[in-house]
A and B are shown apart, each in its own frame.
Chain A
């Protein structure tokens, strides 16, 4: 873990798919960065958004809240939202607290 950053997130674009890449820990002190990244993902109105959870080692209530709100926003905009590579613990956490669990897709085939 880079000592300077607990969380790194950015958006990759593949044609009509925005891939949100996240690395590190999403907690109350880093989740604002995640929120900004989510907003950036929507900037070009993609058809789909895929959130790569492969390198997320921790997510707390603030991260889950931003994810929940982002899920709602994507739904309101008619955009498909899915996850890729969540760890088993993150996946079980999401299944425990989300009203509607997001689909999990292969990172290489988001469609």
Chain B
């Protein structure tokens, strides 16, 4: 008797990690997910420094949800694909129609700007796609090319 075809896609190559995580961006979850991404980076062979800055950047992206407008739930979805050559992380947040875009205080705005600056300094590509309206999602996508400093003593 023939076995039923699976609905699951083929297993990815062993040197590629793909993750999707739904989380509410509280302290424990943010720390867990940034460390998860750091572990994934190590598994695909990232250097100590590459791993470190991926963890920093992922943490920054996840924390942003907590700083933005009141009424945000902090619920986001993180998708990551890591290989020996690059790390791609996308964080998407559903637009519930209640976000206004402005944190409402200077300190939080400054913190947001600083966070974006950090991300831009560390990542090779940063893309922000704001939501088109209620029911849509806003997406922040980061790309880090890996392996550039493996020949220059990139370990910590």
Q: Which residues of A contact B (CB under 8 A)?
A: 6, 25, 27-29, 58-62, 64-65, 87-90, 92-93, 96-97
Tell me if B155 counts as interface (CB < 8 A to partner A): yes
Contact of B118 among A6, A27, A61, A87 (CB under 8 A): A61
* Chain B, interface residues (CB within 8 Å), range: 20 to 34
Distance in Å: Cβ of A98 to nearest Cβ of chain B: 10
B4 at the interface (CB under 8 A from A): no
Q: CA A88 – CA B119 in complex, angstroms? A: 19
Q: How far is the CB of A53 from chain B (nearest CB, A)?
A: 13
Interface of A is mostly: helix
* Residues of chain B having any CB pair with chain A under 8 Å: 27, 30-31, 48-49, 52-53, 55-56, 59-60, 63, 66, 110-111, 114-115, 117-119, 121-122, 155-156
Contact B122 A60 (CB under 8 A): no
Chain A nearest CB from B119 CB (Å) reads 8
Contact A29 B49 (CB under 8 A): no
A60 touches B63 (CB 8 A): yes
CB–CB A97/B118 < 8 A: yes
